Amino acid sequence: MSEHHWIGAAIRHHGVFRGAAKRAGMSTEAYARQHEHTSGILGHRARLALTLMHLTHHDASQTPESTVDAHIEKAKGKL
């Protein structure tokens, strides 16, 4: 797989971690935080879940320049 599709290769069993969190009666993030230092597969899944939770979706139509320009225009409107 290309480096752009690493997430698809990293997740082999979709929903297993979420199901374990649900069985424990916890949110996925709380369960991941509790087990992020655990060794083995559970720890690996917890660390991956935390990584994926903090990724943002990339919008190809927004460049860094257009984002800055939008913030500047918004700030000018408030003055």
Name the pLDDT band for 63 (thresholds 50, 70, 90): low
Give pTM, 2 decimals.
Answer: 0.62
Residue 24: domain span: 3-78
d(CA 28, CA 57): 19
Q: Report how many domains make up the chain.
A: 1
Average pLDDT over every residue of 9-18:
84
Query: At 39, is the secondary structure helix, strand, or coil?
Result: coil
pLDDT for position 78: 66
Average pLDDT over every residue of 27-47:
94
Average pLDDT over every residue of 23-48:
94
